[in-house]
Amino acid sequence: MTPPRGRRRRRDDGGRVLVFVVVLAGAIGACLGLVVDGGRMLIDATRAATLAHEAARAGARELDATALAQEGRIGVDADAARRRALEHLRAAGADGEAVVEGDAVTVTARVPYTTVILPLGSGAAQARATAEAIEN
């Protein structure tokens, strides 16, 4: 039987819609990954900055009792300040460095981060922040 003359036969889409849906789903997944992983990275960067500030302040509170008693000046006990700052970082699940120069305590905090959706190399990254506190 031949189709009537006035009608055209519909052509098969050949899977083009499937390809479009797969590409669109991949793009949506990438956007979702950027939102989720990027948001978590920003949160961890803020956490690293907060920890660095807290640790620097904790270290700057370690006063040198000997200098106060003998010289009458208020200063920072360098070893105690460094130790206190690093203890503060470790207690919060971070690591980093603490440097004491005079009355200034500078702390660099590193917070580990593992990606959830987007694979970035090995999937592990770090948020890093540095803060300084000065004892006046």
| Percentage with pLDDT > 90 across the chain | 51
Distance CA 47, CA 50 (A): 5
* 5, part of any domain: no
* 6, part of any domain: no
On the question of pLDDT at 135 being above 70, the answer is yes
* 1, part of any domain: no
What predicted TM-score, i.e. pTM, was given to this entire model? 0.74
* 76, part of any domain: yes
Q: Report the number of distinct structural domains present in the chain.
A: 1
* 71, part of any domain: yes
* 31, part of any domain: yes
pLDDT tens string 28-69 = 998 998 899 889 999 999 999 999 999 999 998 887 777 766
* 45, part of any domain: yes
* 7, part of any domain: no
Provide the residue range defining the domain that includes 87: 16-134
Beta bridge partners of 104: 101, 134
State the DSSP string of 34-84.
Answer: HHHHHHHHHHHHHHHHHHHHHHHHHHHT-B-HHHHHHH----B-HHHHHHH
Higher pLDDT, residue 11 or 42: 42
Do the beta carbons of residue 55 and residue 107 sit within 8 Å? yes
In angstroms and rounded to an integer, the radius of gyration of the C-alpha atoms of the chain is: 29
